Amino acid sequence: MTEALILTELRGDGARRTGLVTLNRPKQLNALNDELMDQLGAALLAWDADDSVGCIVVTGSEKAFAAGADIAAMASKSFIEAYQGDFITRNWETMRRIRKPVIAAVAGFALGGGCELAMMCDFIIAADTARFGQPEIKLGIIPGAGGTQRLPRAVGKSKAMDLVLTGRMMDAAEAERAGLVSRVVPADKLLAEALAAGELICAMGGPSVMMAKECVNRAFESGLTDGVSYERRMFHALFATADQKEGMEAFLAKRKAVFKHA
Ligand code: CAA
């Protein structure tokens, strides 16, 4: 029987619920290996295709979101094994294919691949215990799951260089100042806060949520003129949805909108 390296459950009691996935290799501080990433990818894809799921939260343990790629599993890899097996690309970035919002709820260590996994999510809510870093340089390697690309986009060149070249960790307060995380909350409120954000998102109109995510992501893939033009087309398209009519009518009638996600 395959070991469950993640735990999954649905939370919330609205028409659309939040999929909560907990990384579950506590003894190894949730070190990420191919099996875990396969299981995580499969869970994310299943929820992405499930109309009853409106948002996803990815979390770890109190001590570690994830302490990086599993060093024991890759220590003896040769170049040719890494290259021909397409290490990382093959299955670690399934997250990028997910069209529904994914929130990372991070407590404790988010290092190396763990920091990179958090950065692949749409936003990060951090516990005050969270510590972020790209310590690969200390292992004689560099980040391999997007860290050298996503970190500078999140925190700017200077801090990204500092973290990637020295391998030092930054605490939650520094991560918030730098713009890596959207908010910092007390550790015992982390899950509640992330699930509350999930519930809010679940109650919004599904098409507008998906298009909003797509447009913000477009900001990282295009110049301003193209990005704004892309946004404008999406904005226009939403006038074809029932949710736009409901949202605006509800506002004018001073009642709460009830979206049909259509
Ligand atoms: N891979 C494999 N095992 C790991 C691990 C990792 N990334 N991180 C921690 N563990 C294991 C430890 O080996 C240890 O196992 P044993 O109990 O069997 O000895 C267990 O988890 C607990 O770890 P520590 O005893 O080290 O706990 P600590 O509290 O003293 O230190 C830590 C915590 C600072 C996070 C430390 O474990 C650490 O530095 N871990 C490695 C972090 C790292 O280098 N991550 C980058 C990996 S490379 C990468 O991610 C590449 C990429 O871009 C994809």
Q: pLDDT, tens digit, for every residue of 95-109?
A: 999 999 999 999 999
Q: Report the pLDDT value the prediction gives residue 3, as an integer from 0 to 100.
A: 83
| 138 C-alpha to ligand 1 centroid (Å) | 12
DSSP sequence for the chain = -----EEEEEE-SSSSEEEEEEE--GGGTT-B-HHHHHHHHHHHHHHHT-TTEEEEEEE--SSEEE-SB-HHHHTT--HHHHHHTTTTTTTTTGGGG--S-EEEEE-SEEETHHHHHHHHSSEEEEETT-EEE-GGGGGT----SSHHHHHHHHH-HHHHHHHHHH--EEEHHHHHHHTS-SEEE-GGGHHHHHHHHHHHHHHS-HHHHHHHHHHHHHTTTS-HHHHHHHHHHHHHHGGGSHHHHHHHHHHHTTS-------
Q: How confident is the model at residue 160 (pLDDT cuts 50, 70, 90)?
A: very high
Q: Report the pLDDT value the prediction gives residue 132, as an integer from 0 to 100.
A: 98
Q: pLDDT, tens digit, for every residue of 165-198?
A: 999 999 999 999 999 999 999 999 999 999 999 9
Q: Nearest residue CA, atom 38 of ligand 1?
A: 67
> Mean pLDDT of all residues in the chain?
97
Type of residue at 160: A
Least confident of 47-51, 63-67, 218-222, 238-242: 218-222
Q: Nearest residue CA, atom 16 of ligand 1?
A: 28
Ligand 1: lining residues by beta carbon, under 6 Å: 28-29, 31, 67-72, 88, 109, 111-113, 116, 135-136, 139, 143-145, 147
**Token output for 4:** 């469950």
Average pLDDT over residues 225-235: 97
Q: pLDDT, tens digit, for every residue of 49-80?
A: 999 999 999 999 999 999 999 999 999 999 99
| Share of residues in the chain with pLDDT > 70 (%) | 100
Average pLDDT over residues 130-139: 98
pLDDT at 121 over 90: yes
| Share of residues in the chain with pLDDT > 90 (%) | 98
pLDDT at 1 over 70: no
Q: pLDDT, tens digit, for every residue of 199-210?
A: 999 999 999 999
**Token output for 131:** 């510590």
Average pLDDT over residues 39-45: 98
Q: How confident is the model at residue 123 (pLDDT cuts 50, 70, 90)?
A: very high
pTM exceeds 0.85 for this model: yes
Residue to probe by mutation, ligand 1, list 29, 150, 169, most atoms within 8 Å of CB: 29
Q: Report the pLDDT value the prediction gives residue 254, as an integer from 0 to 100.
A: 98
Question: Any idea which residues carry the catalytic annotation?
Answer: 69, 113, 116, 136
